[in-house]
Amino acid sequence: MKFDYDLFVIGAGSGGVRLSRMAAAWGAHVAIAEESRVGGTCVIRGCVPKKLLVYASHYQEEMEDAEGYGWHFERGAFSWNTLIDRKNREIDRLNGVHHKLLAESGVRVFPSRATVADCHHVEVASERISARYIVVATGSRPVMPDIPGIEFAISSNEALDLPEFPRRIAIVGGGYIAVEFAGIFNGLGAHVDLLYRGKQILRGFDEDVRDVLAFEMKKKGVATHTGIDVSRLDRRPDGSLQVTFGDGTDDCYDAVLYATGRNPNTRALGLEQAGVALRENGAITVDSGLATTVSSIFAIGDVTDRIQLTPVAIREGAWLAAKLFGDSPADVDHYQSVPSAVFSQPEVATVGLTEADARTRHGELDIYRSSFRPLRHTLSGRDEKIFMKLIVARGSQLVLGAHMVGRDAAEIIQGIAVAIKMGATKLQFDATIGIHPTAAEEFVTMRTRA
């Protein structure tokens, strides 16, 4: 059978773009469809714009800390509209860059929604197009609960483009998106109430990391309320939002942001009719080769709901391109020792196992912890500490996990991740000479077992 394209990709996020470009480099005839802007959640409405807002939210503290070093600045005036305008310009630029990269790779872009018609056909822009392989890379979307007044709340998407800066904001949720936005709005001068129904924020992270971050966020002024539910939202005559809690009490805010999870974007794509199996939350079921239950249809990235991280989607895209059109690599596990970061304030980064998971899998452990005041704050006077933790298998002395809370945690853990991926032992960490004076050297100087 002759096909219009060797590969048709639905969704031009980070994974879909990488897959398309790599497949074209292998000589495939490729098309990609995107109903929104090219770049996906990470570039357009996620990691990149959010990190720019994180940078902006640090400047007030930086000016305060500078006084300890002899600098004095008059209190500045922050403009939310200026920040959003500059952020939007950068997102426009990145959208253009991605379009250019696809064009230079010879990939045709359909700026429309595409749906799966059957195992070898998609429908896009009133066209029925055939393809040898179809890959779904449509990402995920924020989930909003079904409570009265939820239409008044915003998600992380809208939080990046609010027309006015909220002086009082409630953020519902305790995951990485919630704590990141709590730090952003708090750093920019808002009163922030973080509302989470669980016992502690950052479920799934190491328990010490969760406790340390919660304590440090409180010192910075974020009011975290755990064990609390929201039962309804109401718009008041003055435009504010009244939040009624599960215990019957209430409070008022300028905005209410829900960050309570994300679901895969698989609605109305025609997948089930084509025979593609979905899980209960809409995630596409794939095997170790990223194939769905239909042999010619594959899926990558958040739409499979395994590890919702941009670098994972990018790695899957590149690997799948080589599998389908290149040197046919064997199925591999992309999901062990994946480093990740939370751009909270202070920052969190981690790689490998939590202490609880390590105990379940490996039994007896050696735990190393360190908490200290960084050198920069000996003069700034700020009450902020760095926390580091190494988890080591007692028998083999393999380093199973590394966790950090503090400034530049993500930059530091990225390097540590290489060592853990290679199977480094605690002895090899100990044999490594540190760079002094840095916070990072603590990872190779911890000697006392906790």
Contact (Cβ atoms closer than 8 angstroms) between residue 46 and residue 15: no
Q: Hunting for tokens 């990145």 — which residue is that? A: 94
Strands 399-405 and 348-352: antiparallel
User: How far, CA to CA in Å, does 129 sit from each of 113, 115, 119?
Assistant: 13, 10, 11
CB 236 within 8 A of CB 242: yes
What does the DSSP 8-state code read for residue 68?
A: G
Measure the CA–CA gap between 97 and 99, rounded to whole angstroms: 5
Tell me, yes or no, if 121 is annotated catalytic. no
Give CA–CA dist 90/96, Å, rounded: 10
The Cα–Cα gap between 425 and 157 comes to: 42
3-state secondary structure of 390: strand
Angle at 154 between CA 150 and CA 160, to 5 degrees: 175
Tell me the three state secondary structure of residue 147: coil
Q: Where are the alpha helices (DSSP H) in 163-220?
A: 176-187, 207-220
Q: For the CA atoms of the chain, what is the radius of gyration?
A: 24
Residue 205 near residue 289, CB atoms below 8 Å: no
Distance CA 308, CA 183 (A): 21
DSSP symbol at 124: E
Tell me which of 29, 191, 377, 436 is the catalytic residue: 436
CA distance 315 to 385: 34
Category of 382 on φ-ψ map: left (φ > 0), alpha (ψ -120 to 50) or beta: beta
For residue 280, the cross-strand partners are: none
Q: Residue 196's beta-bridge partner residues?
A: 226
Separate counts of helices (H) and strands (E) for the chain? 12, 21
CA distance 394 to 385: 28
Q: Which amino acids are annotated catalytic?
A: 436
